Chains A and B, each alone.
Chain A
Amino acid sequence: MERHFVPKTDAEYTKIDFTSDQMVKWCPGCGDHAILASLLAAFPKLHDKKENICMVSGIGCSSRIPYYVDTYGFHGIHGRACAIATGVKLANPELSVWVSMGDGDSMAIGGNHLIHAVRRNQDLDITIFNNEIYGLTKGQYSPTTKFGQVTKTSPFGTIDYPFNPGELVMGAQGTFFARTLDCVPALTTDIMVRAAEHDGTSVIEVLQNCMIFNDKTHAAITDRAVRDDRTIVLEHGKPMIFGKEKNKGLRFNGRQLEAVTIGENGITIDDIMVHDETTEDTGIHMMLAHMGGDLPVALGVIRNVKKPSYTQLYERQMDDCIANCKYKCVDDLLNSGDTWEV
Chain B
Amino acid sequence: MSKEQIVNKDDLVVRFAGDSGDGMQLSGTLFSDAAALTGNDIATFPDYPAEIRAPHNTVAGVSGYQVHVGSHIYSSGDKCDILVAMNPASFKSQLKWAKKGATVIVDADTFTPEALEKAGYKEDPFTEEFERAYTIVRAPITSFTQRIGQDQGADKKTADKSRNMFALGMIFFLTNKTLEKTFAYLERKFAKKPDVVKLNKAVLTEGYEYAEKLELIHSKIVEVAKAEMPKGRYRNITGNVATAWGLLAASERSGRRLFLGSYPITPATDVMVELSKHKGLGARVFQAEDEIAGICSAIGASYAGALACTSTSGPGLSLKSEALGLAVMTELPLVVVDVQRGGPSTGLPTKTEQSDLNQALYGRNGEAPLIVVAASSSANCFYWAYNAAKLALEHMTPVILLTDGYLGNGSQLFRIPKVADLPSITPRLAKPNDPDYRPFRRDPETFAREWALPGMEGLRHRVGGLEKCPDGPLSTDPENHALMVYNRQEKVNRVANYIPDQEVKGNPDADLLVVGWGGTAGALTLAVEEMNNEGKKVAYTHFNYICPLPKNTGDILRKYKKIVVCELNNGQFAGYLRTQFPECTMTQYNKVMGLPFEVGELKAEFERLLEK
Given contacts A331-B418, A333-B248, A339-B416, contact A91 B289 (CB under 8 A): no
| A325 at the binding interface (Cβ < 8 Å) | yes
In the assembled complex, which residues on chain A have CB atoms less than 8 Å from the CB atom of B299? Answer: 76, 84, 87
In the assembled complex, which residues on chain A have CB atoms less than 8 Å from the CB atom of B257? Answer: 91
Contact of A335 among B281, B416, B474 (CB under 8 A): B416
Closest chain A CB from B520 CB (angstroms): 27
| A113 at the binding interface (Cβ < 8 Å) | yes
Contact of B280 among A56, A67, A325 (CB under 8 A): A325
Contact of B301 among A50, A91, A112 (CB under 8 A): A91
CA distance A95 to B303 in the complex (A): 12
Given contacts A51-B455, A112-B290, A330-B281, contact A73 B300 (CB under 8 A): no
Whether B290 and A342, one on each chain, are in contact in the complex, defined by CB atoms closer than 8 angstroms, is no
In the assembled complex, which residues on chain B have CB atoms less than 8 Å from the CB atom of A340? Answer: 36-37, 233-235
Within 100-140 of A, Cβ neighbours of B (below 8 Å) are at 112-113, 116
| A1 at the binding interface (Cβ < 8 Å) | no
In the assembled complex, which residues on chain B have CB atoms less than 8 Å from the CB atom of A72? Answer: 454, 460-462
Whether B296 and A330, one on each chain, are in contact in the complex, defined by CB atoms closer than 8 angstroms, is no
Q: Which of A51, A82, A326 has the most CB of B within 10 A?
A: A51
Whether B465 and A91, one on each chain, are in contact in the complex, defined by CB atoms closer than 8 angstroms, is no
| B187 at the binding interface (Cβ < 8 Å) | no
Which segment of B106-114, B304-312, B527-535, B602-610 sits at the interface? B304-312
| B560 at the binding interface (Cβ < 8 Å) | no
Contact of A70 among B305, B418, B460 (CB under 8 A): B460
Closest residue of chain A to B474, judged by CB? A67
Whether A90 and B464, one on each chain, are in contact in the complex, defined by CB atoms closer than 8 angstroms, is no
Q: Which of B185, B455, B458 has the most CB of A within 10 A?
A: B455
Closest residue of chain A to B462, judged by CB? A73
| B100 at the binding interface (Cβ < 8 Å) | no
CA distance A300 to B309 in the complex (A): 40
CA distance A325 to B248 in the complex (A): 14
| Size band of the interface chain A makes with B | 35 or more
Convert B208-245 into 0s and 1s, putting 1 for each residue whose CB lies closer than 8 angstroms to a CB of A: 00000000000000000000011111111000000001
CA distance A53 to B573 in the complex (A): 45
In the assembled complex, which residues on chain A have CB atoms less than 8 Å from the CB atom of B322? Answer: 77
CA distance A121 to B255 in the complex (A): 29
Whether B293 and A86, one on each chain, are in contact in the complex, defined by CB atoms closer than 8 angstroms, is yes
| B540 at the binding interface (Cβ < 8 Å) | no
Closest residue of chain A to B184, judged by CB? A338
CA distance A199 to B231 in the complex (A): 54
Which segment of A221-229, A284-292, A315-323 sits at the interface? A315-323
| B556 at the binding interface (Cβ < 8 Å) | no
Whether A86 and B297, one on each chain, are in contact in the complex, defined by CB atoms closer than 8 angstroms, is yes
Whether B419 and A91, one on each chain, are in contact in the complex, defined by CB atoms closer than 8 angstroms, is no
A-B pairs with the 3 shortest C-beta distances?
Answer: A325-B280, A75-B464, A87-B300
B residues bordering A, Cβ < 8 Å? 33, 36-37, 39, 185, 229-236, 245, 248-249, 252, 257, 259, 261, 278-282, 284, 286, 288-290, 292-293, 296-306, 308, 322-323, 325-326, 330, 416-420, 453-458, 460-466, 473-474
Task: Show 29 A/B contacts (Cβ-Cβ < 8 Å), sorted by A.
Answer: A51-B458, A51-B460, A66-B462, A67-B462, A72-B460, A74-B464, A76-B296, A82-B293, A83-B297, A84-B300, A85-B300, A86-B293, A87-B286, A89-B300, A91-B257, A91-B300, A91-B302, A91-B306, A92-B453, A92-B454, A112-B293, A113-B289, A314-B284, A317-B279, A325-B281, A327-B281, A331-B419, A339-B234, A341-B232
